[in-house]
Amino acid sequence: GGKDAINTTIVNFNNEKMQITWATRELFPNENVSFFYTFGEGTKKVWKPCTTYLLDQDYNSGCLFKTEGPTLTISIRNSNGSDELFAKNLKADFYIKPSPPENVTFFWKEDTVTVSCNKPERNAWCLRFELQYKSKFDKEWQSRTSKCCSIGEQGFDPRKCYSFRVRLRRLVPHCNVVKYSSDWAAETFWMNGALLDSCDDDITTPQSKTVIILSCSLAVLLMMLILLILLCKWQRVHMSVLPAIPDPKYPFADLFNDHNGNLQEWLDKNDHVVLQTKLEYEEPESITEAESQQEDGKNSDKQGPLEKIFTFSGAAENNDGKAAEIACLIPTPNTTDPFAGFHIIMNDDMYVML
């Protein structure tokens, strides 16, 4: 029922700026109220009008002004300031909302981390340093509180990535009448003492990155080796299944170069050359083997009749000028064959060339 019954929200931002807000739509419907304030005590007060209003649907719902002392008196009046609607005296120091911690540092030693920040210049004993952390596998934050402005915690798994955040809290009721805490400082991400950008990505340590690079290199080398083995085997299989067909233009170069592939013309021109080459190759061989057979017969204690080898050349007897055919007779062992009145005894190691 009185003027002190109006609910207001009072915030003293780090003892630098004051913010006073009220529910204007519920308390003062259809009326745009004005705000006045003064610092200090005594009967003679110098009221200052609000210069920076906070609006709610174009109606004044709060005021922001500079903190000038520990004792504050506020007054909410009608639009022209002639009629006071609400007044209150308060201690500005009991509504302090601290600023976020500054220069936050992390010190890691094995599974223990120590977090600290700069100590405020005024009333540091009224502050508590709060640390919260969680791994990427945790759903809830783990919270630890200590005196300003350092805290240590142990039991961190070096294989996990952790998120950290810190803030300052004012003690109640010794220093504040309202449980005000600072905003959280910037969240940081750590893994095994190394600062990371985020825990959401698949982040790996430098050691694991090295392992991954080596594993990929070995995998690539192994694949190249397997492909090389398969290529060699494929070439061998291809050669065995589909052997290479020789190109006839190399052994028969004159057939294609001189006769343009005319086989009959090439045969007519080269028939005597081929036959002469064949005779020159076979006749010395026959004579050599015949002489060898005769020498063996003389040294065999004359146990058998004289073995005779006859070589005939029909080239002179042929009226057409073609070479006679050469036939190799392979007789059966120890047989006697008549030829032109002679009996020729043949064994397994001799043959007659006609």
3-state secondary structure 12-73: EECCCEEEEEECHHHHCCCCCCEEEEEECCCCCCCCEECCCEEEECCEEEEEEEECCCCEEE
pLDDT reported for residue 317 = 45
| Residues 200, 162: Cα–Cα separation, whole Å | 10
Token digits for 51? Answer: 């210069």
* Residues pairing with 9 in the sheet: 21
Q: What is the pLDDT of residue 244?
A: 65
Residue with tokens 């609000």: 50
Residue where the block lists tokens 């004005």:
34
Q: Which of 169, 20, 156, 29 is nearest to 99 (CA)?
A: 169
Q: Can you say how many angstroms the Cα of residue 189 is from the centroid of all Cα atoms in its chain?
A: 22
Torsion from C-alpha of 215, 217, 223, 226, nearest 10 degrees? -100
What values do phi and psi take at 332, rounded to 5? Answer: -80, 160
Are the beta carbons of 127 and 154 closer than 8 angstroms? no
Classify 84 as helix, strand or coil: strand
What pLDDT, on the 0 to 100 scale, is given for residue 272? 54
Q: What are phi and psi of 242, to 5 degrees?
A: -120, 80
CA-based R_g, the chain, Å: 59
**What is the pTM assigned to this prediction?**
0.54
Contact at 8 Å (CB) between 172 and 127? Answer: no
CB 196 within 8 A of CB 203: yes
Please state, in angstroms and rounded to a whole number, the distance separating the CA atoms of residues 223 and 229: 10
Contact 188, 108 (CB under 8 A): no
The pLDDT assigned to 5 comes to 64
Task: Count other C-beta atoms under 10 Å from residue 58's C-beta.
Answer: 7
Amino acid making up residue 311:
T
Where do runs of H (alpha helix) occur along the chain? 24-27, 206-241, 253-257, 263-298
Q: pLDDT tens, position by position, for the chain (354 residues)?
A: 345 567 889 999 999 999 999 988 888 888 889 999 999 877 778 899 999 999 988 889 999 999 999 999 999 998 888 888 888 899 999 999 999 999 999 999 888 999 999 998 888 899 999 999 999 888 899 999 999 889 999 889 888 899 999 999 999 988 999 999 999 999 999 998 889 888 875 444 555 668 888 889 899 999 998 988 888 877 777 677 666 666 655 566 666 677 676 777 777 776 655 555 555 545 444 444 545 555 555 544 444 443 444 344 444 444 444 444 444 444 455 555 554 444 555 555 554 444
| b/e 277-305 (16+ beta carbons within 10 angstroms → b) | eeeeeeeeebeeebeebeeebeeeeeeee
